[in-house]
Structure 1
Amino acid sequence: MVLTPAPAAARPEPCAPPAALLHRALALCAPLLLGLVAWLGSLDGAAAAPGSGALLLRGKLPQSAPVEAPRLKTDIAVAVSGPTARATITQLFRNTTDQWVEGTYVYPLPEDAAVDAMTLVVGDRVIVADIRARAAARQAYEAAREAGHAAALTEQERPNLFTNSVANIGPGETVLVQIAYQQPVRLSGGTHALRIPLVVAPRYNPAPAPVTPAAEGAGADPVPDRARITPPVLDPAEHAPANPVTLTVTLQAGFPLGSVQSATHPIRVEETGPESRRVTLADGPVPADRDIELTWTAAPARAPAIGLFRERVGTDEYLLAVVTPPEGQNLARRPRDVTFVIDNSGSMAGASMRQAKASLLMALDRLAPADRFNVIRFDNTMDQLFPEAVPADERHLAVARSFVAALEARGGTEMLAPLTAALADPTPERTDRVRQIVFLTDGAIGNEEQIFSAIAAGRGRSRLFMIGIGSAPNAHLMTYAAELGRGSYTAIGTIDQVAERMRELLTKLESPVVTDLTASFSEPGVEATPRLLPDLYRGEPVVLAARLGRSAGTLTLRGRIGDRPWEQVLRLAQAEEGQGISKVWARAKIGEAETARLTGRLSAEAADAVILSLALEHRLMTRLTSLVAVDVTPRRPTGTPLTAADLPLTLPAGWDFEAVFGRSGAAQPAQPARERRAQVPSPLATAASGIALPQTASDAPLLLWLGLSLLAASALILRRPGRVA
């Protein structure tokens, strides 16, 4: 574009109006300003090209230039030994910048994991972590961070959600953090299962209730740590998947093996003996966008009837008993009142919504004429299909099928109101009908404790069955809710699993339960968990952990199958050697103390004392304890700034990014749109975080709007008569 002098007749007089002078100045400066904007935009684009997976993070100081976040890779090694598994997770942090960086990464672990070890490796230095009270561990980490020492801190946010912070990663440097945990292997219907979570799903965090004089507890934040459980998430349309994961499982089943399978990932299975296998991922490293599930069964007619294992630690003996009672035969089926609750919030968009609807339609088809039912759907609102439970006749079922088929995913996940409605029992004194609640959700919420408290207070005679939908369900919520509701938890990760897993669950719901279960030891002084044994459904085992002291003797299990008594006596001296049983017992006892706190059986202070004592004795991570590793040698030069960076997470497979985060149009990690709507700043959450969280947005949107505005202004000026040739 070339600017030419205006004709003489059109030239302004020497005393031209100021507006005319301004127009001419803008016209002369527009090319220069547009060129400057384009140059700045090119710098930003070069730093993080779309699809590259690069993430820009700002430093703690306003003048700090954006830097690329540390890269992360993860290797998982699991050794299964009979009823327990020992896992080691190795996380490799790579600083690709020329600055000193502190990396923070939120990651999942199994909800029943007993996390007991962490090691930090920097160059040739290996630092083994100590277990400390949470506040003391954070204080030690922050002191080391400020002094320039290499340090790592692992903190529990939820029993299945942890945060790793690694301080003073040098320019171009790689550091390694290794975490180890113990967990029990699940058994149901003859199938052993191990689930390894890889991704933290974005969570909906309800806002505090409005502060009104009449509202009890109003204004309290249901998610006081919302800032700590809301890491940035990459838009898969703009970024490649982050955090590639490799896996090796060494399987020692303790019995001749039949099939070894995974419904979530292609696997390679190498036979290393009649009772052992080596399992790896067939496609090599995989993105951390869905949980890994591994199942195995015994060879035909070779399944053990009783699993009894023991471990000696110091002067104590620890016991793990896994016993499956015989199935009742030809027992009359009792009529049921079933309330189905289905989550149709935004996080369920896509594959999860299809799975949930297919599961619910299948459950409706299995209702018997003597049953009654109702359906509740919820997002940030809720609807109850019928005012009360109705007969399962064809007319009502047709209405329910149409209602379910029309559901679409949208909005937030306000779970408390529909749960309370489902628990409300108009006839709590009735014993002639079984009352069941089937709850279908991904569980992507941050206010789990509100949900647990509601179940403990309102469960009555109801039995709660949780169905986890999607590639990364919140297993802590599902498992604990089912335990409190005296039901069970079923995970459905793909549409291919709907028919099989719903059939298994519905068969359990329709089958007579084993009731009135008790466990007694012949020797005194045994500490067993759970304190109260749950009702059992077909194929479900009794799982009992105990600290025996030096005693042996016998364990007697008693219950009723229908109207017939059932009893089994186990001689503890016949137990096989096991590994990690003490950790499993301690983790279960900690969970029992948390339950006692929620139900009011223990005060908060008494429960915390029990949890802290168990955690320090057995070196376990809890909400009250953390693992911290500090190198004694300073590394970062005095006066050199430290940039803080939250490492981004990959969106769970099958999730719709726009349905969760809205149409931001930015190529940067986002916070859920539903979270932004619900969130109210919490001074407590901010103070508790203890670290300066980065601002992940770049200046690109501002520069773009500035450029467009100048371009429009220039166009208007240059289109004036006589201005442009």
Structure 2
Amino acid sequence: MASAWWPCLILALLSSLAASGFPRSPIRLLGKRSLPEGVANGIEVYSTKINSKVTSRFAHNVVTTRAINRADTAKEVSFDVELPKTAFITNFTLTIDGVTYPGNVKEKEVAKKQYEKAVSQGKTAGLVKASGRKLEKFTVSVTVAAGSKVTFELTYEELLKRHKGKYEMYLKVQPKQLVKHFEIEVDIFEPQGISMLDAEASFITNDLLGSTLTKSFSGKKGHVSFKPSLDQQRSCPTCTDSLLNGDFTITYDVNRESPGNVQIVNGYFVHFFAPQGLPVVPKNVAFVIDISGSMAGRKLEQTKEALLRILEDMKEEDYLNFILFSGDVSTWKEHLVQATPENLQEARTFVKSMEDKGMTNINDGLLRGISMLNKAREEHRIPERSTSIVIMLTDGDANVGESRPEKIQENVRNAIGGKFPLYNLGFGNNLNYNFLENMALENHGFARRIYEDSDADLQLQGFYEEVANPLLTGVEMEYPENAILDLTQNTYQHFYDGSEIVVAGRLVDEDMNSFKADVKGHGATNDLTFTEEVDMKEMEKALQERDYIFGNYIERLWAYLTIEQLLEKRKNAHGEEKENLTAWALDLSLKYHFVTPLTSMVVTKPEDNEDERAIADKPGEDAEATPVSPAMSYLTSYQPPQNPYYYVDGDPHFIIQIPEKDDALCFNIDEAPGTVLRLIQDPVTGLTVNGQIIGDKRGSPDSKTRKTYFGKLGIANAQMDFQVEVTTGKITLWNRAVPSTFSWLDTVTVTQDG
């Protein structure tokens, strides 16, 4: 709904530009102003260090930044860190002139009340928010006296997941200025032994690669180091701005002498299971695709491109069908067909012919696909030893037919009956992602957001590659009866090639001599059982180097995994069950000092001789698409505007303040989605502003009128030869036909020569 505010924003912006004289000569983008080396706005960040220690896939990361105020007056210093969405913050400390102010994890409601009191006094806020596809951004600021030093230290932990045969650690590097001592140090300890290790950075040139980045591994240990000098950080030999701006990615894998590996430390165990070399189980796929009107244009074209690539990867033993839904439902074939060369060629023709139309009937589309899979099994149209999956792609919410999310969820749950998984792909932000995620989770699948970008087709294909090669179905992890407590999830519908199943738990008796784990599953040709037997004395010898990283990693890994799974379960729980799941997850979050959706971190810091509360919260995936509301206002600081400000949350679209009156004129234009309106045309300045309308996919099917919003704004000036295109996802500027694309997080200055 935030797009409904754009006309007011743009109109106000253009009015001020006209009043001040809009530049008419060619424009250019400016970086930071020339300042003393390593100092920006009086603040010198003289040290930034990222220290990561990984033991058995569990990563413990510490980000430390040190700065000094070189100015003659007090200055505000900001600390920004982008961390993975799957990570939990475990600590944050602030040290000013040698005095440390620690962070404490508290129940969210308790922390919220403390925080709101501080915000009402005009204090600065700590904030964690979604930042792009994989990251969340942690931001906190503090005022530092002239000549004083400040140290920020953020700690977070995560379990590295295995995708496509590799574990990936993702670090965002963005110091924003030259730093005298910049360093990334990563130490990896894997008891199974490291089989490969690589590191790369999107911002490192070939010249820097050899001299700044080192990586090595031998046996159980691996090491990565990145230490650019001050000169090596420069974006050019004479520049004072930094080229360190991008992604730093570390990938590795471990030796697998057996399908599984069990590790036991201090009464806790973890079991990693990733068999290799098994034949692929044939799969039966129902592709349920949204072709409603909002999928028109680039979205549908990218979907087609992805489906065509997926068809190239289908194996002849697989079966498939396409179910298309808009206001109604249609199918490619009446039933599933085998992926023979002839059928695949026909499928390509069908995919290329897909056209958008109508509204969004998710319920009937899913039920048709599920029914088709069930019927194929009942009528023996598919191989006995095959597995079925539903993949649903939509860019919005149901607005025709059964549109109540809870009823759709119930219908789908009953139709699937636990027999196969559902994977939901949400295209863009104009949808109820929580609904898609909850529905997928309770049907043994998961949801994935597909970002509206130039690589959306590759995102779709990348998802399919994760589930393209099932090696086992009906996987059960079994352990000695009465010997374990608090076991994490130990049954899985599928094991996919290149992934890994991780189970953790507590031992009843820490002094047991041996430990046995059995894994059972259905393979492509027969049922399989894998057994791991652990001699506790041999285990102790094998892990004697574990303190190379940190000793209680399995216990913390167990807590991390347990909390993660409890939070997933509570999404579809109700009543007493939900209360119990919430209470357990909260207790573990507080005990192990994890910032989760149930907790917040409170940091007491000095400001104006009073204590101030800074909050670190854990946003959910759907936070990206959710505008700030009163219920969420504690996440951000707010200052009322000086002048009267008018807005409408939804229609009407246009709000114009009446000159010399404390009032505004509001009016609406009812046009169909896709219509382009000319909002401003100024023959004197050559300025033109157009807006393209999009529809509200959350509208009621019984409503006679459909709410519409501006989804795209275009600003052009023929005299200056420039254009700006603004969408909810990005901002693109063309200067003399050369495009520059920015996210809403970027800060860019536009000026004129002369």
Q: Structure 1 length as normaliser, TM-score?
A: 0.58
- What residue identity is the alignment partner of 1:260? D
Alignment equivalent of 2:153, drawn from 178, 200, 208? 178
SS in structure 2 of the partner of residue 599 of structure 1: coil
CA deviation map 1:187-234 (0-9, x unaligned) = 3564332244789xxxxxxxxxxxxxxxxxxxxxxxxxxxxxxxxxxx
Tell me which protein shows more strand as a share of its residues: 2
- What residue identity is the alignment partner of 2:223? R
- What residue identity is the alignment partner of 2:599? T
Which residue is 1:296 aligned to?
A: 252
- Residue 629 of structure 1: how far off its partner (Å): 0.5
Which residue is 2:519 aligned to?
A: 558
Counterpart CA distance in 2 for 1:347 and 1:265 is 34
Change (3 A) 1:195 1:690: closer
SS in structure 2 of the partner of residue 586 of structure 1: helix
- Residue 381 of structure 1: how far off its partner (Å): 8.2
Which residue is 2:224 aligned to?
A: 278
Alignment equivalent of 1:324, drawn from 274, 281, 285? 274
Q: Is the 8 A contact 1:516 1:559 kept in 2?
A: yes
Counterpart CA distance in 2 for 1:439 and 1:469 is 10
- Residue 536 of structure 1: how far off its partner (Å): 1.3
Counterpart CA distance in 1 for 2:500 and 2:482 is 23
Alignment equivalent of 2:534, drawn from 565, 571, 592? 571
Counterpart CA distance in 1 for 2:184 and 2:364 is 41
State the identity %: 16
Alignment equivalent of 2:507, drawn from 535, 541, 548? 548
Q: How does 1:191-202 map to 2 (within 5 A)?
A: 191-196=166-171
Q: How does 1:524-535 map to 2 (within 5 A)?
A: 524-535=483-494
Change (3 A) 1:422 1:286: farther
CA deviation map 1:256-302 (0-9, x unaligned) = 4434154966584514552323144999566767x65432245xx77
Larger radius of gyration: 1
Counterpart CA distance in 1 for 2:152 and 2:98 is 13
Change (3 A) 1:273 1:591: closer
- Residue 134 of structure 1: how far off its partner (Å): 1.0
- In the alignment, does 2:20 pair up with 1:41? yes
Change (3 A) 1:542 1:395: closer
Q: Is the 8 A contact 1:385 1:400 kept in 2?
A: no
- What residue identity is the alignment partner of 2:91? A
Change (3 A) 1:324 1:530: same
SS in structure 2 of the partner of residue 592 of structure 1: helix
Q: Is the 8 A contact 1:156 1:162 kept in 2?
A: yes
Which residue is 1:214 aligned to?
A: none
Change (3 A) 1:547 1:682: same
SS in structure 2 of the partner of residue 616 of structure 1: helix
- In the alignment, does 2:493 pair up with 1:537? no
- Residue 691 of structure 1: how far off its partner (Å): 3.8
Which residue is 1:435 aligned to?
A: 388
Which residue is 1:587 aligned to?
A: 560
Which residue is 1:307 aligned to?
A: 261
- Residue 376 of structure 1: how far off its partner (Å): 5.6
The one of the two structures with greater contact order (alpha-carbon pairs below 8 A, sep at least 6) is 1
Q: Is the 8 A contact 1:132 1:625 kept in 2?
A: yes
Counterpart CA distance in 2 for 1:79 and 1:345 is 49
Q: Is the 8 A contact 2:186 2:225 kept in 1?
A: yes
Change (3 A) 1:113 1:252: same
Q: Structure 2 length as normaliser, TM-score?
A: 0.57
Which residue is 1:599 aligned to?
A: 572
Change (3 A) 1:153 1:537: closer
- In the alignment, does 2:287 pair up with 1:339? yes
Unaligned runs of 5+ in 2: 1-14, 33-40, 234-241, 398-404, 615-622, 646-655, 660-678, 687-754
Change (3 A) 1:506 1:570: same
Change (3 A) 1:179 1:140: same
Change (3 A) 1:621 1:184: same
- Alpha-carbon RMSD across the aligned residues, in angstroms, is 6.3
Alignment equivalent of 2:308, drawn from 361, 368, 375? 361
SS in structure 1 of the partner of residue 594 of structure 2: coil
Q: Is the 8 A contact 2:171 2:248 kept in 1?
A: yes
Change (3 A) 1:180 1:104: closer
- For these two proteins, the number of residue pairs brought into alignment is 562
Alignment equivalent of 2:582, drawn from 608, 631, 650? 608
Alignment equivalent of 2:421, drawn from 463, 469, 474? 463
Counterpart CA distance in 2 for 1:198 and 1:452 is 42
Change (3 A) 1:113 1:690: closer
CA deviation map 1:152-179 (0-9, x unaligned) = 4668999977574646536999966432
- In the alignment, does 2:515 pair up with 1:515? no
Which residue is 2:11 aligned to?
A: none
Q: Is the 8 A contact 1:153 1:629 kept in 2?
A: no
Which residue is 1:631 aligned to?
A: 605
- What residue identity is the alignment partner of 2:374? P
